[in-house]
Amino acid sequence: MSPVTLRGLTLRNRTVVAPMCQYSAIDGFVNDWHMVHLGRFGIGGFGLVILEATGVLPEARISFADLGLWKDEHIAPLARIVDFLHSQGAAAGIQLAHAGRKASTPVSWLTADDLATEEQQQKLGYEHWQPVAPSAVSHDPANADYQVPTALDKDGIRRVIDGFVAAAQRAEKAGFDTVEIHAAHGYLLNQFLSPLANQRTDEYGGSRENRMRLVLEIAEAVRAVWPADKPLLARLSVSDNAEGGWTVEDSVVLARELKARGVDAIDCSSGGLAQGRIKSAPNYQVPFAHAVRAGADIPTMAVGVLGDIHGAEAILENGEADFIALARGALADPNWPLHANTALGGDYTAWPVQTQRVADYDRLMVAAKG
């Protein structure tokens, strides 16, 4: 629960809410759902709350219901959420993303009946479009939800880079404390990195150096417009978890290059390609965070079933990572940092004044268990 500083940003503790897609936006705009969903994590004591994968271009969204930051009109509604998180003592981050060949996919809980009429489609903001990717190869040919994408040409690549830059500038205007470049989970930048998805023969394909080129160009371009006193994060799938794919060793090399270009911490996840599977279990991705931290000498976030408080504390104490990021664990317990604080010997002053009666109840429950 100790504070930690990245550049000019000091977080009140090392707990992070990892980005979680809500598939609840229309035309990229946040709404009351996002305010309540995200605001409770600020109330609950998290140090940093990172908004979900946010499309830097309209075609960059995973689905039509994703958040966006491709136009200035998106700024003001996001600023309202940022302001509330700040009022509760939390820092606010946003993940800038491009889905690549995994774009224009369905929202899982919507059925054909939900989209049967034009009126229903308009109400939900339904859109469908042609995805782009490093190569014209489907994410999963056996799954009809994924289209065969159009391979990006040089102009298309420049559009992607410019999209990340413009979105970062809008994030600054909205008041965000940090932005995270999404290069994980089988989305566009991960597609460029992985030899399983990237079949290009130009300067963006072939060798590892070439496959890293777009990620590094985006990092350089975003860092150039992002304030020098604000940290820049990157999320990596440290391993594709698939034979012939991107590896831990590759991620260590990439993390070193990202650090040299001004990236301040690596959010360490894995997987995302159809060829790769890994069974989730408590702490299952911590070795990825440890490997990148040790190999690249850069702060890392561990993520993936880390809800055990004392186990999470041990990860930090053992030097395996610098931050503990929760997603589903945060949904299950938005007050996880407050409970962690007391479980680790802290007092109840971290609870918001409006919830002191809850803190009193929590204190009695701890005493009863003791």
239-278 tens-digit pLDDT: 999 999 999 999 999 999 999 999 999 999 999 999 998 8
pLDDT exceeds 80 at position 366: no
Superfamily classification of domain 4-334: Aldolase class I (3.20.20.70)
Q: How far is CA 322 from the centre of its chain?
A: 16
pLDDT exceeds 70 at position 358: no
Closest CA to 149 of 138, 160, 141, 158: 138
Amino acid at residue number 105: T
Residue 353 confidence (pLDDT): 84
Q: Where are the domains of the chain?
A: 4-334, 345-370
Averaged pLDDT score across all residues of the chain? 96
Active site residue 187: yes
Contacts of 231 (CB under 8 A, 6+ apart): 6, 7, 9, 177, 178, 264, 265
Whole-number Cα distances in Å, 299 to 20, 55, 180, 288, 331: 22, 26, 14, 12, 25
State how far the Cα of 153 lies from the Cα of 170, in Å rounded to an integer.
26
pLDDT exceeds 90 at position 288: yes
Catalytic residue among 187, 204, 348, 361: 187
Residue 347: pLDDT band by 50, 70, 90 thresholds?
confident
Confirm if 173 and 75 have CB atoms less than 8 A apart.
Answer: yes
State how far the Cα of 12 lies from the Cα of 6, in Å rounded to an integer.
12
Residue 15 pairs in a beta bridge with 324
State how far the Cα of 66 lies from the Cα of 291, in Å rounded to an integer.
32
Is the Cα torsion angle 166, 256, 252, 176 positive or negative in sign?
negative
E-assigned strands of 203-299?
Answer: 232-237, 265-269
Contacts of 205 (CB under 8 A, 6+ apart): 134, 135, 192, 198, 199, 211
Residue 38: pLDDT band by 50, 70, 90 thresholds?
very high
Supply 184's token pair.
Answer: 């994980």
Supply 212's token pair.
Answer: 């890293």
Residue 28: count other Cβ atoms within 10 Å of its Cβ: 23
Confirm if 191 and 212 have CB atoms less than 8 A apart.
Answer: no
pTM for the predicted model, two decimal places: 0.96
Confirm if 170 and 226 have CB atoms less than 8 A apart.
Answer: no
Residue 349: count other Cβ atoms within 10 Å of its Cβ: 9
Confirm if 304 and 283 have CB atoms less than 8 A apart.
Answer: yes
Amino acid at residue number 107: V
Supply 131's token pair.
Answer: 């995805």
